[in-house]
Structure 1
Amino acid sequence: MSDAASRLAALAEELMGVPLPVRIRAWDGSEAGPPDAPTLIVRHRRALRRMVWKPGELGLARAWVAGEIDVRGDLYEALDRLAGLVWERGHDAKDPVHLVRDPRLRAAARELLRLAGPWPPPAPPAEEVRRRSGPLHTKVRDRRAISHHYDVGNDFYELVLGPSMVYSCAYWSEGGTLEDAQRDKLDLICRKLALKEGDRLLDVGCGWGSMAMHAARHYGVTVVGITLSAEQAAYARKRIADEGLTDRIEIRVQDYRDVRDGPYDAISSIGMAEHVGAVRYREYADDLYALLKPGGRLLNHQIARRPERNEEDYRVDEFIDAYVFPDGELAPVGRTTATLEEAGFEVRDIEAIREHYALTLRQWVANLEAHWDEAVRLTSPGRARIWRLYMAASAISFERNRIGVNQILAVKTPESGASGMPLRSRIWSAGSGR
């Protein structure tokens, strides 16, 4: 089969209706497309079968995870160029029904099938989440979803996250390192919560214990950290013991719905609420409200998506759902704040820091790429490719304002109305807790 790249490029442009934004290198060594653009390498015809079988991002993701496609050149530029086709053009151009109705496109689709080779496509890569059943966001299903993402090896996460072991958006300043930015983020949260000696903090989704350790070490609080990941909990407990903080910090493998030992003076929830889901978000807000003492503060640090013109059109990202965060959901920040207020909270401050997450993700990708062989050894080639793609694509999404991240500070304001907030807001943003 000669010059597969030219045929593939022509078919892609016919089906998508726009010029191909990247160069293509096919399995036969041929190349076609813009000479100065990043190159999409199609190593095997199997990749086409996957993309025809599951048009859009899921087919592409399966081919990527399997190593059947790759990018030569700048990955971020390639994703940025492809974003308009794969993620931002809507679903009509990728809908098989749309192809069947248009005779011209139907002919192109038949030619693409011939080029793809023998049917059917191969099975999805082993890293894909298998078929799920039952209601969303039960305790059992949430525990399995969390385990899929977080229980892939603490050594792997050390390579990606660096010494801070913080898996959420950092808070950057000019010239700072990732460790500086993560420390500053943790300290900013402590100051927004107005933590002081003797306070009791609940850290929901405590990860590897970094927030709990920072709050206990620098602010003299006692902390209960909860996670659904057994591997995270074991790692956090060892860190805490090594730092001599076991008298101040307790780490539990526990669902937030099962915490009953309030009241707490403050609650931090950093990068956890994305796993709660729309059907449970009011329950989440109610539970945290009940666990706080009057006047207590909640810092909810959460990724948000842009609202749809018609919210019924919203679809969960197929690649993220199948390979990265099963059952994860993003909501617009307005819906999140409204739900917190419905639960009784007074929302006092919202700080949008989406550009900070793009910087964080680019640093994580750089860490992964710098330790690629070891990352593959610790997990699998497919898993390492998943993390590289999802983090790079997420960085582009933050940069393009497709998604954002917000720190929402809310107070369980008592009936007297005395919130305990400073008269001038955001005095906490000055300085850094070193």
Structure 2
Amino acid sequence: MDTKSLQRDVAAILARADIHINGSNPWDLQIHNQQFYKRVITQGTLGLGESYMDGWWDCEQIDEFVCRALRADLYKVARLTWRGWLEALLAKVMNHQVKGKAARNAQIHYDIGNKLYQLMLDKRMAYSCGYWKNANNLDQAQENKLDLICRKIYLQPGQRVLDIGCGWGSFAKFAAERYGAEVVGITVAHEQVKLARELCQGLPVEIRLQDYRDVQGQFDHVVSVGMAEHVGYRNYRTYMQTAARCLKPDGLFLLHTMGMAYSRTSADPFTNKYLFPNSLLPSLKQLGGAMENIFVLEDLHNFGAHYDYTLLAMFRNFDQNWELLQPEYGDLFYRLWKYYLLSTAGSFRARNNQLWQIVLSKKGLMGGYESVR
């Protein structure tokens, strides 16, 4: 098929979402390389992302472009490429989140330099969705989220909490400072451990380089923020069993995770290749099946729309501090992370991605659980 025919096909698909080639709207695509059309038709979302990295197209508002494309269900119009079929097939027969692989997967994203995350994130370095109720900046939204978690588990002074996937220790530090808790945080990323220990120095916080499957002992509560996305659907049951094993009989487990409205067994090819290898957003069906006969659902809170604001704020920080990062990371990295942050914001704006906080107990709280917002 010649370039003009491919261009007509791509233009027709985009027009369903009021997106136009070289149009005047801020969400329209400005094409710089005519090979763009073949690349997108043959490689799908991988070709779309890579061609942006290579400078083949630009868009004033990538987030709005992605939002409109998803709201118009354009992914149902475009065919799944052979690469997508292959990755979906392999995901069904392979476990990409066994212990050794899980550590390597996380390190590819989280061990690329603490300076990047210090300049991009809020002052507490929370790399997850903020809670923007009564907040007008990223620092406040993230503190609101951390406080919300503490209130949802009814955290009391002196209680011991396990933080599965603790990142740079944002929750551990907050819970220790504000609520007088003792926290054990675990992560498989070396750079996170190094900085988290520095940030939590002098507090009753222990940061471990440890896989969640290896944790021993019992805790008053368990929290896991932005970790389930890296567990893999084959390991959800083990993940729930581990949380239950570590949780005292009357304790609460708070799971904070991104999610999808439908079940998948493989991630988007672009995300899998460049950002979060072998990650997967769970569905409620997958999580619900994994927790059967282990936990009682006490509360489910969806505030996925808040991730749009969070990601835009992170991008502003990243963009404003790029001069300090450019010598180390280079311009290709800038286009990759701009595309990643803004396209993900658009996906949450479109309500294609969700953000759930799920409160679980072992046998159900006597008298019921009072929802906290």
Q: Report the counterpart of residue 230 of structure 2 in structure 1.
A: 275
For residues 125-274 of structure 1, the aligned pairs below 5 Å read: 135-241=95-201, 244-245=202-203, 248-260=204-216, 262-274=217-229
Distance, in Å, in 1 between the alignment partners of 2:182 and 2:358 is: 22
Distance, in Å, in 2 between the alignment partners of 1:17 and 1:45 is: 16
Q: Report the counterpart of residue 115 of structure 1 in structure 2.
A: none
TM superposition shift of 1:191: 1.2
Equivalent of 1:61, from 9, 26, 49?
Answer: 49
Alpha carbons of structure 1 residues 345 and 324: separation in structure 2 relative to 1, 3 Å: same
Distance, in Å, in 1 between the alignment partners of 2:24 and 2:185 is: 52
TM superposition shift of 1:267: 0.5
TM superposition shift of 1:76: 2.3
Alpha carbons of structure 1 residues 384 and 351: separation in structure 2 relative to 1, 3 Å: same
Higher relative contact order (CA 8 A, sep 6+): 2
TM superposition shift of 1:134: 6.7
Distance, in Å, in 1 between the alignment partners of 2:194 and 2:244 is: 28
Give a deviation string over 1:209-267, Cα, whole Å, max 9, x none.
110011111111111100011001101111112xx21xx1110010001111x111101
Distance, in Å, in 2 between the alignment partners of 1:61 and 1:205 is: 28
1:74 paired to 2:74: no
Structure 1: which amino acid aligns with 2:316? Answer: A
Structure 1: which amino acid aligns with 2:66? Answer: L
Distance, in Å, in 2 between the alignment partners of 1:286 and 1:185 is: 25
In our comparison, the structure showing a higher alpha carbon Rg is 1
Structure 1: which amino acid aligns with 2:65? Answer: A
Give a deviation string over 1:88-146, Cα, whole Å, max 9, x none.
22443x658xxxxxxxxxxxxxxxxxxxxxxxxxxxxxxxxxx9997421111111110
Q: State the TM-score, normalizing by the size of structure 1.
A: 0.76
CA contact (8 A) 1:22 1:37 kept: no
Distance, in Å, in 2 between the alignment partners of 1:250 and 1:164 is: 17
Q: Report the counterpart of residue 87 of structure 2 in structure 1.
A: none
Q: Report the counterpart of residue 374 of structure 1 in structure 2.
A: 324
TM superposition shift of 1:70: 3.8
Q: Percent identity?
A: 32
Structure 2: which amino acid aligns with 1:356? Answer: H
1:319 paired to 2:308: no
Distance, in Å, in 1 between the alignment partners of 2:37 and 2:8 is: 15
Q: Report the counterpart of residue 333 of structure 2 in structure 1.
A: 383
1:401 paired to 2:356: no
* More moved, 200-209 vs 35-44: 35-44
Distance, in Å, in 2 between the alignment partners of 1:350 and 1:388 is: 31
Q: State the TM-score, normalizing by the size of structure 2.
A: 0.88
Q: How many residues align?
A: 363
1:303 paired to 2:258: yes
Root mean square deviation, CA, Å: 2.8
TM superposition shift of 1:351: 0.7
Helix, strand or coil: the match of 1:89? helix
Unaligned 5+ runs, structure 1: 1-6, 25-32, 97-130, 430-434
Helix, strand or coil: the match of 2:23? coil
Distance, in Å, in 2 between the alignment partners of 1:321 and 1:295 is: 38
Equivalent of 2:288, from 297, 312, 337?
Answer: 337
Unaligned 5+ runs, structure 2: 83-89
Alpha carbons of structure 1 residues 289 and 89: separation in structure 2 relative to 1, 3 Å: same
Equivalent of 2:23, from 25, 30, 34?
Answer: 34
Alpha carbons of structure 1 residues 165 and 15: separation in structure 2 relative to 1, 3 Å: closer
Alpha carbons of structure 1 residues 18 and 349: separation in structure 2 relative to 1, 3 Å: closer
